[in-house]
Amino acid sequence: MRYLITGGAGFIGSNLCDALIQQGEEVVIIDDLSTGSLDNITHLLDNQNFQYHNNTILNHRVMDHLIRECDAVIHLAAAVGVKYVLENPLSSIETNIRGTEIALELANRYKKRILIASTSEVYGKHTHAPLKEDDNVIYGPPSTMRWSYAAAKLIDEFTALAYHRTKKLQVVIVRCFNTIGPRQTGLYGMVLPRFIQQALRDEPLTVYGDGSQTRTFTYVGDVVEALLRLIHCDAAVGEVVNVGGQEEIPIRELAERTIALTGSKSEIMLVPYSQVYGRDFEDMMRRVPSLEKLERLTGFRPETDLDTMLTKTIEYFRSKSN
């Protein structure tokens, strides 16, 4: 089977490529390397089952060709990361809305099943747990640019569901929660890579706010497994499905665990959000998924425990710094 993976040189995308190539599948990727990296896929470039197109998903002509020639699309390309989105507000909206619209329009033209990567950010400011796929969404005002990422991804979900309802397009929408593991970069606002790199350099770990905000984390290998099960699950077509972890941890404690597991001499430094993201920034205080739907549909739920995820990610960053 030939898969088109948009954003295939990114963190989740490149791990997905590895899994598919290992299974003997054909993989074609399109990536403009805006946040992805050639390093993530260099080892695949000589593989005859792998093809890389350095291009943007906004290029309709190229996307037309790639989608026509594939059997299924996994659409991961997006402007990602709070920092990246705040620094590139306009192009992020264009990539995340127009890019997904192009992918859906062409998947519909050639009647190809398509999985759309959405995000737990879509839920907005909820503090209850667990978050279920049919919960309401709560956002701040548009002057707070951070919500543009959530709103753009929500429009992607609406568009995908509208294609399913009106054109019978086979779409699967996956709301990923914070995912961690090898190849994630700390450059665009992702918390764990930043902590690990600070810890390995014995620099202070910068915790934003008072560190009481909590997150759950999913190992990238589990996300890849979930994506592959979901794209082949007929009952998931036309559905929105959470993919996330269950172990809830305050960010300050995540910093402490990172220090312990790296054996670092670092201390923790609390930094006000306003200093990092400007005056109007709002964070989400809590994000815990319900995994009941994922498990019902696929028989799978992510099980990797947090210390294992942290240890594997630390090993990756240590090997990169050698």
Ligand X SMILES: NC(=O)c1ccc[n+]([C@@H]2O[C@H](COP(=O)([O-])OP(=O)(O)OC[C@H]3O[C@@H](n4cnc5c(N)ncnc54)[C@H](O)[C@@H]3O)[C@@H](O)[C@H]2O)c1
d(CA 13, CA 245): 19
d(CA 283, CA 294): 26
Q: For residue 47, what is the DSSP state?
A: -
196 binds ligand X (CB under 6 A): no
18 binds ligand X (CB under 6 A): no
Token pair 């839920």: residue: 123
- Scanning 52-60, 163-171, 201-209, 227-235 for contacts with ligand X by CB under 6 A, the matching segment is 52-60
Single out the residue of 51, 95, 170, 242 in contact with ligand X (rule: CB under 6 A): 95
298 binds ligand X (CB under 6 A): no
What is the DSSP track for 208-236?
ETTS--EE--EEHHHHHHHHHHHHT-GGG
Active site residue 219: no
Q: Letter for the amino acid at 216?
A: T
13 binds ligand X (CB under 6 A): yes
Single out the residue of 176, 199, 240, 241 in contact with ligand X (rule: CB under 6 A): 176
How deeply is 227 buried, as exposed, middle or buried, from its count of CB atoms within 10 A (0-12, 13-18, 19+)? buried
264 binds ligand X (CB under 6 A): no
Whether the Cβ atoms of residue 34 and residue 88 lie closer than 8 Å to each other: no
Q: Letter for the amino acid at 273?
A: Y
Single out the residue of 5, 17, 30, 200 in contact with ligand X (rule: CB under 6 A): 30
d(CA 92, CA 86): 9
d(CA 254, CA 267): 13
Single out the residue of 159, 178, 214, 246 in contact with ligand X (rule: CB under 6 A): 178
104 binds ligand X (CB under 6 A): no
45 binds ligand X (CB under 6 A): no
- Scanning 10-18, 20-28, 106-114, 273-281 for contacts with ligand X by CB under 6 A, the matching segment is 10-18
Q: Active-site residue among 52, 123, 139, 149?
A: 149
Closer to ligand X at the Cβ: 116 or 264? 116
- Binding residues for ligand X, per CB under 6 A? 7, 9-13, 30-36, 56-58, 76-80, 95, 99, 117, 119, 176, 178-179
